[in-house]
A and B are shown apart, each in its own frame.
Chain A
C-alpha cells in the first residue's frame, strides 16, 4: 500500500526551468512518476522535458489536476512557493531547497498547520514509494518494494540504508526524507502514525542525527502507541557541541540535542539501535525477527 504517494499521484515541479528542477523532473519521469507539469513565474507557455510550464500553481492545478509538487525554487522565494502550493490546494508539498531562512519557515509552517496540505522538508531528498512514484532527488534504482518504512533526516545516509536493506532482501514501502533544517514540515511522529495504519509496512527504520528533539519525541510515541518493530541509527556521536555539522539543524545547542540523549531515549522505547551506519539494515532485521 505505502503512504503519501502511489502510482496515481500527479506531480508538479516548481522551479522546473532551473538546472536542478529540469534534471530531476526528467529523472522522476524516467522512474515512472506522473510528473504532469511545471511552474516558473514568467515562463508559462514553454515546454520542458515535454511538460507544460505554467506561471502559477493555481493554473497548473486547474489544467493538470496535480495533487503534489516538488519545489526546486531558490531560497529567497522558496517559502512563498510552498505557500502558493498550499493555497492552490496541493495536498503534498515536497520542498527540496536547502538554505531557506528559518523565520520564513516559521511563517510558512504557521499557515500550513491551519490548512490541509502536508509539507515534507525543506532541505530534503524527497519521498519515494518504490515501483510506483518518486518525488525527489534520490537514486530510484537502489530501492525495492517491500515491508520496511524508512524515515530519515539525512540524504546520502538514507541511500546507504536503502542499499543495505535492498541487498538483505528487505524492500521498502515508502521512504521519506524529513530534511536537515531546524524547522521542517513533517516529523518522525507524523509518519509513524501513517505507517501504523499501512498494511504493507511491517517495520520502520528511523535515521536521526544530532540537534533538536525529534528522536526523543519519536521514542515517546513508539513507547506509547506504535505496535510494529522499529530500528534506528543516530548520526553524530562524535560531533562536538556548538558546531553546525553540515545540516542547519544538526547542531548541539546549549547542551541539548546530543546523540547520547537520543540513543538513550530510543533504547528505552525498545527500539533496536544500529551500532554504526554499517549496521542499519541488520538492526532492522533484528527488530523484525524479534517481533
Chain B
C-alpha cells in the first residue's frame, strides 16, 4: 500500500526523524495561507500524487508547470497551487493521461549543502531488511547503481535489534558526514530503520536527504509503502489509504477477494492461480493477441466471485474476447462450469467467450457448457484456447 509524501513525512515527524516544516493545502488560497504560516521566506509547492518520478513531472495541459515549484510569496504559492490542483500530472510512471492532483504540500525552503540517499527494503535473498545509503542523493538511484555501484553502501539489520550503533557510524563516515552532522546522521538512520520495522514497511526511501546550510539533516522527499500482509495490524495506516489514487477496477476486485491488474490489450482473462494467470497472459501474447488484464480468481472461484470477476472484466470497454482458463484440482470443473453459465446469463456477454477447463470432473464440466445453449467456445487444450481467443478477438 502506498501513501502520499505528506503522509510519509508526518509519520517520520512523529518518529523524531528530521523533515522540513510543511502544510498540506487543497485549494490555492489554502496554499497562500500555508506560505504565510511557514514564516514567509521561501517555500516549495509540491504536487501530491502516489506516482513515482514526480520530480520530473509536468502538468498535462500546461507542460511548463512542473510538479515542484519554488515560491517566494503567498501570491506565487497561490498561483503554483492553482496550476497544479485539479490538473493531471504526467510522470514516467503515470502514462500520458497523468494522475489528478488533489493536494499540494507547501514546505519551508532550506539551503541545501549536500544531497544524500537513504533507502530501506527487505532483501529477499538474505531474508533481512537492508539500509542502503549513498552520498549520491537527488538522483535516480537506479542510475547510481548502474554507473557507480560502489557508492551505494548496504547494511542489513535484524528487525528486533534494529540498526546497530557501529553500523550507523560506518555509514555516517561513508556519507562524508562530519562535526555535529555525524551524530545527527547516525540518529536519523537508526530512527528510520525503527520506523521501517514498527510500521511493517516494504519500502522507505529518502531521496534526497539534505544536509542544510545550518548543519541539520532533513528528508526533503519521503516515499513509504507498506506490506499489504501486515495491514491487519495497522489500523492507523489503513486510514491513510487514498482510493482516488488506485484503479477502481483493481480496488473493486480486491474487495471481492480477487486479484486484478489492468493492462492495455483486448483479450480479457479469468484464471485460477497467480502463476497460471500470468502464464495465460503470456500465452495469449505468444499467439499474437494482447491481454487486457491479469485476473486471479483464487482457490475458491465460487459463483459470486466468478460473476463479479466477469462484471469487472466486461466493464472494460476495449474488450473484444474473453478467455477463461481454469485448472480444477480440489475445485471441480462442474462447479466452475455452472458458475460460468449462471454468470454468463446474469451479466450478459457481448463478446466471444472461450473456456478451457481441465482437471476434476472435466468431461462433466464441458458437458454443462455445451448443454447450456450459450455461445461459449470450449477449447481442447491451452494452445487451442489461445488460438481460438485470439481469432475471436479479431
Residues 223-267 (chain A) with a chain B CB within 8 angstroms: 233, 235-240, 242-250, 253-255, 259
Cβ-defined contact, A99 with B127, below 8 A: no
A142-B359, A246-B259, A276-B386 are known; give 11 further A-B pairs, CB within 8 A: A103-B129, A106-B158, A139-B359, A152-B275, A156-B329, A233-B279, A238-B285, A244-B261, A246-B277, A259-B282, A275-B286
Q: Which of A149-178 contact B (CB under 8 A)?
A: 152-160, 163
Of the listed stretches A10-18, A86-94, A193-201, A205-213, chain B binds A205-213
Q: Is there an interface contact between A102 and B125, defined as CB atoms closer than 8 Å?
A: no
CB distance from B4 to the nearest CB of A (A): 17
Chain A 209-221, CB-CB to B under 8 Å as 1, else 0, gives 1101100010000
Q: How far is the CA of A248 from the CA of B275 in the complex (A)?
A: 12
Other-chain residue from B159, B283, B359 in contact with A277 (beta carbon distance below 8 A): B283
Q: Which residues of A are found within 8 Å of B227, using beta-carbon distances?
A: 101-103
Let me know if A248 and B272 touch, CB within 8 A: no
Point out the residues of chain A lying under 8 angstroms from B310, CB to CB.
none
Does chain B have a CB within 8 A of A110?
yes
Question: By the criterion CB–CB under 8 Å, are A250 and B278 in contact?
Answer: yes
Contacts A159-B359, A160-B327 given; indicate if A106 touches B261 (C-beta within 8 A). no
CA distance A81 to B285 in the complex (A): 42
Closest to A153 in B: B275
Asked if B27 is at the interface (CB within 8 A of a chain A CB), the reply is: no
Residue of B with least CB distance to A20 = B299
- CB < 8 Å: which of B229, B275, B281, B381 contacts A157? B275
- Complex CA–CA separation, A159 to B286 (angstroms): 21
Q: With A139-B360, A235-B282 in contact, do A157 and B124 touch (Cβ < 8 Å)?
A: no
Q: Is the interface of B mostly helix, strand, loop or mixed?
A: mixed
Question: Which residues of A are found within 8 Å of B158, using beta-carbon distances?
Answer: 106-107, 110
Asked whether, in the complex, the Cβ of B275 is within 8 Å of the Cβ of A209, the reply is yes
Binary interface encoding of chain B residues 130-163 relative to chain A, with 1 for a CB under 8 A from any of its CBs, else 0: 0000000000001000000000000000111000
B contact residues around A106 at 8 Å (CB): 122, 127-129, 158-159
A158 to B291, CA, bound (A): 22
Residues A247 and B274 in contact in the complex (CB < 8 Å), given A102-B122, A163-B359:
yes
Question: Is the CB–CB distance between B229 and A75 below 8 Å?
Answer: yes
Task: Please state if B282 and A238 are interface contacts (CB–CB under 8 Å).
Answer: yes
Main secondary structure of the interface of A (DSSP, over half): loop
Q: How far is the CB of B356 from chain A (nearest CB, A)?
A: 10
Nearest CB of chain A from residue B54's CB, rounded to whole Å: 15
Contact: A238 with B291, CB < 8 Å? yes
List residues of B whose CB falls within 8 A of some A CB. 93, 121-122, 124-125, 127-129, 142, 158-160, 197, 200, 202, 227-230, 232-233, 259, 261, 263, 271-286, 291, 294, 296, 299, 327, 329-330, 358-360, 381-383, 386
Complex Cα spacing A163 to B124, Å: 31
Residues from chain A with a CB closer than 8 A to the CB of B128 are: 106, 110
Bound complex: CA of A48 vs CA of B291, how far in Å? 45
Contact, CB under 8 Å: A276 / B282: yes
In the complex, 17 of the A-B residue pairs with CB atoms within 8 angstroms, ordered by the A residue number, are A75-B232, A102-B227, A103-B227, A142-B329, A156-B329, A157-B273, A160-B327, A160-B382, A209-B274, A235-B279, A242-B93, A243-B294, A246-B274, A246-B275, A248-B228, A250-B278, A277-B283
Least CB separation from B360: chain A residue: A139
The answer to the question of A38 belonging to the interface, with a C-beta cut-off of 8 Å to chain B, is no
In the bound complex, residues from chain A placing their C-beta under 8 Å from that of B386 are 276, 278
Given the known A-B contacts A182-B124, A183-B124, A237-B282, are A278 and B382 also in contact in the complex, defined by CB atoms under 8 Å?
yes
Contacts of A56-100 to chain B: CB distance below 8 A: 75-76, 99-100
Write out the residue numbers on chain A whose beta carbons fall within 8 Å of the beta carbon of B277: 245-246
6 closest residue pairs by CB, A with B: A246-B274, A154-B275, A156-B273, A139-B329, A157-B275, A278-B382
Residue pair A276, B279 in contact (C-beta under 8 Å)? yes
- Residues of B near A100 (CB, < 8 A) are 229
Q: Which single member of A109, A157, A217 contacts B279 (CB below 8 Å)?
A: A157
Contact of A239 among B127, B142, B278, B329 (CB under 8 A): B278
Whether the pair A243, B261 counts as a contact (CB closer than 8 A) is: yes
Q: How far is the CB of B218 from chain A (nearest CB, A)?
A: 24
Q: Which residues of B contact A238 (CB under 8 A)?
A: 263, 278, 281-282, 284-285, 291
Complex contact A213–B200 (CB within 8 A) = no
In the complex, the answer to whether A278 meets B329 with C-beta atoms within 8 Å is: no
Chain A residues positioned under 8 Å from B296 (CB to CB): 246
Whether the Cβ atoms of B278 and A163 lie closer than 8 Å is no
Please, which residues of chain B bring their CB within 8 A of the CB of A99? 229
CB atoms of A239 and B281 under 8 A apart: yes
A277 with B127: CB separation less than 8 A: no
Distance between A20 CB and nearest chain B CB, rounded to angstroms: 9
For the complex, give the distance between the alpha carbons of A158 and B329 in Å: 11
Shortest CB distance A91–B (Å): 20
How many Å from the CB of A87 to the closest CB on chain B? 17
